Chain A
Amino acid sequence: MTAYLVRRAGQAVLVIIGLMILTFGLIHMEPGNVARSILGVRATASKIAIFNHTYGLDQPLYRQFVSYVGQVVHGNFGTSYALQQPVSTLIAQRLPRDLLLLGISTVLALVIAIPLGIYQAIRRNGVGDYAFTGVAFTLYSMPDFFFAILLIAVFSVQLHILPPEAPQATSVGGILADPRALVLPVLTLTLLSVASYSRYMRSSAIDVLAQDYIRVARAKGMPERLVLLRHVLRNSILPVVTVVGLSFPLIVAGAVIAEEVFNYPGMGLLFYQAATTHDFPILLGSTLVVGVSTVIGSLAADVAYAVLDPRVRYGRG
């Protein structure tokens, strides 16, 4: 178990270093001149030189990378070109909002998808299964932005019961104080996740239901409710744990779209605006934050897996 965890953590560190190289290299592949796109076409040569010197852009690439890593380790992601604020401040402002939005949606999605998947597995090929499968299939095949705007069209424009814009408050408390405005963004992300989680849960539960220990449990006369709770739920939830850990990048991608549609001031919107204004420090910083969170998330999922499933522990030594 310990050896496994140590190896896993070692891999995670390697991947994080790789991430820094990737994001750094990627963003410096960008053709065109940063100073020009920030200062405008009329900027004089000396202004550009000052800009480049201020941000260390006149140094060789490897020096820039080394100093970048040094800064990052100390929690400094540089200063945004366009917003003139430290990237770490911008991220620190927005990350809690995303944890709130993505946290609520992911928890809600699991609360809905896990029982739904088990229900579908039990009533496999019944009317209910087909109906939910059809809905999940359509949602899964729909562009995220279209689904979000359809929700606005129905609940805001037609029915006038929910605002079309996410809460604009800056603090987490302020966002929570406006729960009605939070409904549509959360609903969008939740339903899109339910569509995929419930499918994994369904197929995983179908596999488990076919196992001999389920038959044994039933043969012993165990009440069906207990069979489902003790055996089916616990065993079929394992692959879903991994899927949730792995789907973090997908959740983030969904958040970029949802935040753009609902104007939710989170990391997704920050990133999108930075991408359109070529604001490298923000792009570097937020890509790294997302990447590192993914690595840690999947590490956590693997540890959870090892804790939940003894076969992983003993099998890998």
Chain B
Amino acid sequence: MGAAEPGPGLAAIPGPAGPGIGAGGAGAPAEPTGQRGGSLRLILATFTENRAAVVGLGLVVLIALFCFVGPLLYRTNQVTVRLDLAKLPPGSRFPLGTDPSGYDVLGRMMLGGQSSLELGFAVSVATTVLGTLYGAVAGLLGGIVDAVMMRVVDVFLAVPALVLLLILVNMFTPHLWVIIVLLTLLSWLGIARLVRGEVLTLRTREYVQAVKMMGGSKRRIVLRHLVPNAIGVVIVNATFTVADAILTLSALSFLGLGLPPPAADWGGMLSNGLNYLFDGYWWLVYPPAIILILTVVAFNLIGDAIRDSLDVRLQRP
């Protein structure tokens, strides 16, 4: 994002995935609830009325079950290379065939999904904590501290994350945790900016000023006003971060810098499989591709739905 002090429109552009896709706040309940506590119910109602969001959430649950519970029911060898079983087509013994190392593709999708999902969630949580704290500190302190902190963010944002990753991954043995740490170090910048922007706008709002005038403590302002108002942006961003992290890992795998075997992730399975696509081994390509895309779509749907349900403007009929 370069050295940009964001223009006024910028604060309204949350998240890397962009605003307002999905079914929108289409079926949002038009009836405003005035009382306290009603807002949470309204958010929940809007969320569940958005069919796309429910589909997204359902997909995530199903895929997580598939990856983490699946291996308990469907046991496969994912460690020993069995060249005598390599590249077998789908059949009764291997429902989705085997890959060039003789691993069962269905079982490998579960194993790969574990890495992909663990990475997505870990990066998302770590990024959210780090970025929110950084942005909040910068926004609350303001002045020179804020200026310095934001220039640091600008520097990192000016270089494509993938470019930095290519340099960094080369320095370490690519292990899942190494990639999680590196991705986190490169992904917290967006949320830091968003939270800082949010804090800066909220600080000047009349109701926060009013609390200050009435002698409300700093702690009260932060906990009762800043956190509840900024949390929406944070959650939306966290959801998109899961999707982005999974995609970035797949790009790394494609460039040959992903997890080394016998570890697996969907992106790695997909990019390996693509080498055999033109020889007719479709089962090496489409199963991991479909589950990878479904997962990313699901997280993006959820993120959009949360944003829509938080955005009051979209709830106007």
Q: Which of B12, B167, B243 contacts A283 (CB 8 A)?
A: B167
Are the C-beta atoms of B1 and A146 separated by less than 8 Å? no
Return the chain B residue nearest A300 by Cβ: B2
Are the C-beta atoms of B21 and A136 separated by less than 8 Å? yes
Interface size of B by CB at 8 A reads 62
Q: Which residues of B contact A124 (CB under 8 A)?
A: 24
B interface, CB within 8 angstroms of A: 1-10, 12-13, 17-24, 26, 151-152, 154-164, 166-168, 170-171, 243, 247, 250-251, 254-256, 267, 270-271, 274, 277-278, 289, 292-293, 296-297, 300-301, 313-314, 316
Q: Which residues of B contact A14 (CB under 8 A)?
A: 3, 151
Are the C-beta atoms of B6 and A196 separated by less than 8 Å? no
Are the C-beta atoms of B19 and A203 separated by less than 8 Å? yes
Q: Which of B22, B161, B163 contacts A133 (CB 8 A)?
A: B22
Complex: A256 Cα to B166 Cα, angstroms:
10
Interface set, chain A 256-288, CB cutoff 8 A to B: 256-257, 260, 271-272, 275-276, 278, 283, 286-287
Nearest Cβ in chain B — how far from A290, in angstroms? 6
Are the C-beta atoms of B171 and A142 separated by less than 8 Å? no
Are the C-beta atoms of A143 and B270 separated by less than 8 Å? yes
Are the C-beta atoms of A287 and B243 separated by less than 8 Å? no
Tell me, yes or no, whether A200 is within 8 Å of chain B by CB: yes
Complex: A200 Cα to B314 Cα, angstroms:
15
Are the C-beta atoms of B5 and A271 separated by less than 8 Å? no
Nearest Cβ in chain A — how far from B1, in angstroms? 5
Return the chain B residue nearest A257 by Cβ: B251
Q: How large is the interface on A (under 10, 10 to 19, 20 to 34, 35 or more residues)?
A: 35 or more
Are the C-beta atoms of B278 and A287 separated by less than 8 Å? no
Nearest Cβ in chain A — how far from B247, in angstroms? 6
Interface set, chain A 182-205, CB cutoff 8 A to B: 196, 199-200, 202-204
Given A23-B159, A298-B3, A302-B7, CB of A199 within 8 Å of CB of B20:
yes
Complex: A8 Cα to B20 Cα, angstroms:
30
Are the C-beta atoms of A256 and B163 separated by less than 8 Å? yes
Q: Which residues of B contact A178 (CB under 8 A)?
A: none
Tell me, yes or no, whether A155 is within 8 Å of chain B by CB: no
Are the C-beta atoms of B12 and A290 separated by less than 8 Å? no
A interface, CB within 8 angstroms of B: 8, 11-12, 14-15, 18-19, 22-23, 26-27, 29-31, 124-125, 130, 133, 136-138, 140-146, 149, 153, 157, 196, 199-200, 202-204, 206-207, 210, 238-239, 242-243, 245-246, 248-250, 252-253, 256-257, 260, 271-272, 275-276, 278, 283, 286-287, 290-292, 294-299, 301-302, 305-306, 309, 311-312, 315
Given A18-B154, A249-B160, CB of A140 within 8 Å of CB of B6:
no
Q: Which of A207, A272, A287, A306 contacts B313 (CB 8 A)?
A: A207
Return the chain A residue nearest B164 by Cβ: A26
Given A15-B2, A15-B158, CB of A272 within 8 Å of CB of B7:
no
Are the C-beta atoms of A294 and B2 separated by less than 8 Å? yes
Q: Which residues of A contact B24 (CB under 8 A)?
A: 124-125, 206
Q: Which residues of B contact A15 (CB under 8 A)?
A: 2-3, 151, 154-155, 158
Q: Which residues of B contact A157 (CB under 8 A)?
A: 278
Are the C-beta atoms of B4 and A301 separated by less than 8 Å? yes
Are the C-beta atoms of B3 and A143 separated by less than 8 Å? no
Complex: A125 Cα to B20 Cα, angstroms:
11
Q: Which of A125, A199, A210 contacts B19 (CB 8 A)?
A: A199
Complex: A256 Cα to B12 Cα, angstroms:
29
Given A199-B20, A243-B13, A257-B254, CB of A272 within 8 Å of CB of B159:
no
Complex: A243 Cα to B17 Cα, angstroms:
11
Complex: A248 Cα to B160 Cα, angstroms:
8
Return the chain A residue nearest B171 by Cβ: A30
Nearest Cβ in chain A — how far from B242, in angstroms? 12
Are the C-beta atoms of A142 and B168 separated by less than 8 Å? no
Q: Which residues of A contact B170 (CB under 8 A)?
A: 30, 275-276, 278
